[in-house]
């Protein structure tokens, strides 16, 4: 058996390297990759937060697009909305507006109300999401 290969995968803005030994691929968890970085500051913690914010925004936006067939107040969506709203001022009001919009029976009205709630949440995210 020869020297192990280095396997590189593109993730976000930079590459993640994993050590490949034989048939096993040893991959590091994202948080583990960033916690041992020796450049100082809290930029590596901000990367994790930014990625989580982006994932939560994508979940919420997908829920808006699919609100005519799927419940926009299902557990995974509410968890994403809860995380986003916990990062911004007046987040409780925005989370409540999402829940009210998700409860509208008419599909067209529900989607428009969810779009408005999403617009408000997105406008509140900005830099505040990283604080």
Residues 117 and 89 in one domain: yes
pLDDT at 119 over 90: yes
Predicted local distance difference test score (pLDDT) of residue 106? 94
- Which of 7-11, 69-73, 100-104, 107-111 shows the lowest mean pLDDT across its residues? 7-11
pLDDT of residue 32: 60
- Same structural domain, 60 and 104: yes
Residues 30 and 75 both lie in one domain: no
**Max CA pair span of the chain:** 64
Domain count across the chain:
2
Does the pLDDT value for residue 20 go beyond 90?
no
pLDDT classification of 41: cutoffs 50, 70, 90: low
E runs forming strands in the chain: 5-11, 14-21, 24-26
Residues 76, 12 share a domain: no
Query: How far, in Å, CA of 11 to CA of 37, rounded?
Result: 17
Do 104 and 73 fall into the same domain? yes
Tell me, yes or no, whether 31 and 53 share the same domain.
no
Whether 90 contacts 103, CB under 8 Å: no
Range of the domain at 23: 5-35
Same domain, 66 and 23: no
Looking at the predicted structure, is the pLDDT value of residue 122 above 60?
yes
pLDDT band at 126 (very low <50, low <70, confident <90, very high): confident
Same-domain check for residues 103 and 67: yes
DSSP summary character for residue 41: S
Return the pLDDT at 46.
Answer: 74
Asked if 19 and 62 sit in the same domain, the reply is no
Whether the pLDDT of residue 22 is over 80: the answer is no
Identify the helix (H) or strand (E) that includes residue 26. strand 24-26
Task: Give the CA distances from residue 43 to residues 39, 48, 53, in Å, rounded to whole numbers and listed in that order.
Answer: 9, 9, 15
Same domain, 91 and 47: yes
Query: What does the pLDDT average to over 35-50?
Result: 65
- Burial class of residue 6, CB neighbours in 10 A (0-12, 13-18, 19+): exposed
């Amino acid at each position: 058996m020869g020297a192990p290969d280095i396997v590189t995968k593109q993730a976000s803005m930079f590459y993640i390297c994993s050590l490949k030994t034989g048939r096993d691929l040893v991959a590091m968890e994202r948080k583990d990759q960033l916690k041992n970085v020796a450049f100082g500051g809290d930029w590596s913690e901000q990367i994790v937060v930014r990625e989580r914010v982006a994932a939560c925004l994508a979940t919420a936006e997908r829920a808006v697009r699919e609100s005519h067939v799927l419940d926009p107040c299902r557990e995974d969506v509410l968890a994403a909305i809860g995380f986003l709203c916990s990062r911004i001022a007046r987040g409780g009001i925005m989370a409540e507006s999402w829940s009210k919009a998700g409860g509208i029976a008419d599909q067209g009205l529900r989607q428009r109300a969810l779009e408005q709630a999403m617009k408000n949440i997105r406008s509140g995210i900005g830099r505040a999401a990283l604080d």
